[in-house]
Amino acid sequence: MNTVSLKSQPLWAYFQMLRPANIITAWADILVGFAAAGLVITLSESTGSQASFTSFIPLGWLLLATTGLYGGGVVFNDVFDAALDAQERPERPIPSGRASRQGAIALGGSLLIIGILAAAQVSIVSAAIATLVALAALLYDAAGKHHTILGPLNMGICRGGNLLLGVSALPAMLQERWFLALIPITYIAAITAISQGEVHGGKSSTGIMAVVLVGVVIGATAALGLLPNYAILPALPFAGLLAVRVMPAFINAARDPNPDQIRAAVRAGILSLIVLDAAVAAGFAGWLYGLLILSLLSLSTGLAKLFAVT
């Protein structure tokens, strides 16, 4: 079956709503949280293949959890936007008739439940964080996105919660690493703010604010070097790559906030979440682990050629 005929199948429409390229970026959040909890170093020092394999089981559950949470969240985004998309983006799965609204609700609800149940296999704390992320995602889809200030903050909380979900693999570390959630909260707030002009264009002032926020995020990554268990040198190359990938696109969108420039900035920002996570993780677990996370970028970029990111 060729690509054209495959895209005409109903199943393809539901895959489109899942935004697979974005889900890969959510995996990176879990991996950096896992490293921030100190578990990567702990596993590298463990002896015995059985012990190592058993220790990685919580990571597997959390990766499944974030797949369900992110997938369910973006599906409900299309559910709540169905009427608006019928006017502005009629090619999307629901308004085009390739997917039903009822089917999308069933898919999104199932994915959110899977996400919470998978997190519960790790701990009650993980289940609680997963539940809060699911609720925050639904709040954003239903109402948050329509608020200029609360919308970006709402989406940022979803992403920050996702990172803490990774830290919850060792719940005791949450009280020491909770502040790490502020990094993705700020970064996603920048992307969400600028994305509000994807259809009709935006404002230069919003673009400038987004550029400043991205700069703050890059600076905060370097500032993590002040932590006793964080090595700044392995993180710097990844932080530099983040700046190169994101800053030009955001600056262009601030200078000329037309829909095409804004979509390019949003796409660069979302896919570069993996680079941000690699930078933070490298400081906690070394550059090899950072490269492991960075390797997800090629997978996410490949999927972005088949499925929409925004």
- Return per-residue pLDDT of the chain as tens, 310 residues: 455 555 556 788 999 999 999 999 999 999 999 999 999 876 555 545 544 556 689 999 999 999 999 999 999 999 999 998 899 889 999 999 999 999 999 999 999 999 999 999 999 999 999 999 999 999 999 998 888 788 888 998 999 999 999 999 999 999 999 999 999 999 998 998 888 777 667 788 888 999 999 999 999 998 999 998 899 999 999 999 999 999 999 999 999 999 889 999 999 998 899 999 999 999 999 999 999 999 999 999 999 888 887 7
CA-based nearest residue to 271, from 221, 233, 227, 308: 308
CA-based nearest residue to 249, from 210, 279, 275, 220: 210
CA-based nearest residue to 30, from 83, 3, 78, 69: 69
Residue 56 lies in a domain: yes
Residue 243 lies in a domain: yes
Report d(CA 183, CA 193) in Å as an integer.
15
- Mark residue 307 as left, alpha or beta (left: phi above 0; alpha: psi -120 to 50; beta: remaining): beta
Report d(CA 185, CA 155) in Å as an integer.
8
State the total domains in the chain.
Answer: 1
Report d(CA 281, CA 181) in Å as an integer.
13
Residue 112 lies in a domain: yes
Contact 245, 217 (CB under 8 A): no
Residue 180 lies in a domain: yes
For residue 18, the domain's CATH number is 1.10.357.140
Contact 295, 45 (CB under 8 A): no
Residue 310 lies in a domain: no
Residue 78 lies in a domain: yes
For residue 128, the enclosing domain spans 3-304
Contact 190, 269 (CB under 8 A): yes
For the entire predicted model, the pTM comes to: 0.90
What pLDDT digit, counting tens, does each position of 161-174 carry? Answer: 999 999 999 999 99
Report d(CA 81, CA 210) in Å as an integer.
24
Contact 134, 113 (CB under 8 A): no
Helices 182-195/150-167 angle, 10° precision: 140
Tell me the C-alpha to C-alpha distance, in Å, between residue 252 and each of 192, 217, 262, 304: 16, 19, 8, 21
Enter the tokens of residue 161. Answer: 């919660």
Question: According to DSSP H, which parts of 19-100 are helical?
Answer: 20-36, 39-45, 49-80, 82-88
Residue 309 lies in a domain: no
What pLDDT digit, counting tens, does each position of 212-224 carry? Answer: 999 999 999 989 9
Contact 238, 296 (CB under 8 A): no
Report d(CA 75, CA 82) in Å as an integer.
11
